[in-house]
Structure 1
Amino acid sequence: MNRLLWMSVILSVMLSCHMQKTKAIEGAKAEMKAQKNAEDDKWEINVLDPQYDTYINSVAKSINMYSDDWLRARNIILVADWNSRYYSGRNPNFYEVPINYDPRENYGIEFNYRMYQFFAYLNWKYGARFQGLSAADMTI
């Protein structure tokens, strides 16, 4: 009897933790805007979430840990996963817009790094899991 009581308490705690993470994703909003700078012809990415820059400066791995080719390959997978969720209508408050990422375009390592870290940030802050994130960059 005592064992059954403990198992039900543990199960309840696990379920409540899972439900809290799901609710956090449903109400979350982190937007990303990409544009080509007319002055130097470089692509820029801006994430409209004040904690993103803090994440980049304190939690994310350094840009030197990645190559542009590796980031590009991962971003292709991550964007496909994001767009699949967007077009399926899954959690429309979180996946509000599709991401237009052309793998033939040379965005540069800084852009590819910031885009990859956008997905890592969403995993870190909201618990969103994406195919393509390195296990070392996943927090959950």
Structure 2
Amino acid sequence: MKKKTTHLILIGLMFGMALTSCTSQKSTLDVSSEEKALFDSNDEEPVEIANDETEYEIIIIEPGFNTWLNSIARPEGYYSQSFLENRNAIMVINWNQRVLNPMRWNPNLYEMQINYDPSIDYGYEVNYKLYNYFIYFQRKYNQRLGPFIPRI
């Protein structure tokens, strides 16, 4: 009898701690009015991500992304290439899992898989722009593609 009571108290404490930790996190991101205006922009200038040496190319046609990249995102050189590669690897895995699960994730957001191999050196520019697209996407659509809060 004593053991059952102890287990119930421990389960109750664990449930209380879990509930507290869930409610203490922010559910939305702090997005400035300037950034929101870019999200609502109809500017559809495509962003081409290419590395001539490795012959890899990504074209992003997302309204407002090009302007956001040039005005809100951290400048090129701010992050190291290894940082970008590590984050991109995580976010690509999550992205591709969502593409493959359209019943759970909005298929209008996650339309195509991204063929990204972490063992290939795509170069700094490809990794920089892909990383920033993921940040833009997460902030615009209030999504999380990994354990990190998508901050600028």
TM-score bracket for this pair, using the shorter chain length: 0.5 to 0.7
Q: Tell me the C-alpha RMSD between the 2 structures.
A: 2.4
Q: Please name the residue that 1:63 is paired with.
A: 76
Q: What stretches of structure 1 of length at least 5 have no aligned partner?
A: 1-30
TM-score norm. by structure 1 comes to 0.64
- Count of residue pairs brought into register by the alignment: 105
Q: Percent identity?
A: 36
Larger Rg: 2
Using the TM superposition, give the Cα deviation of residue 61 of structure 1 relative to its aligned residue in structure 2, in angstroms: 0.7
Which residue of the other structure, out of 120, 132, 148, is the alignment partner of 1:117?
Answer: 132
C-alpha change, 1:135 and 1:53, in structure 2 (3 Å) is: closer
Counterpart check, 1:126 vs 2:119: no
Q: What stretches of structure 2 of length at least 5 have no aligned partner?
A: 1-45
TM-score norm. by structure 2 comes to 0.60
User: What letter corresponds to residue 139 of structure 2 in structure 1?
Assistant: W
Distance 2:54 2:114 in 1: 20
- Name the SS for the 1:131 alignment partner: coil
Q: Please name the residue that 1:48 is paired with.
A: 61
Matches within 5 A, 1:24-43: 37=52, 40-43=53-56
Higher relative contact order (CA 8 A, sep 6+): 1
Q: Please name the residue that 2:111 is paired with.
A: 96
- Determine which structure has the larger helix proportion and give its number: 1
Superposed CA offset, 1:73-121 (max 9, x none): 0000000010111112221121111111011111001100000001111
- Name the SS for the 1:83 alignment partner: helix
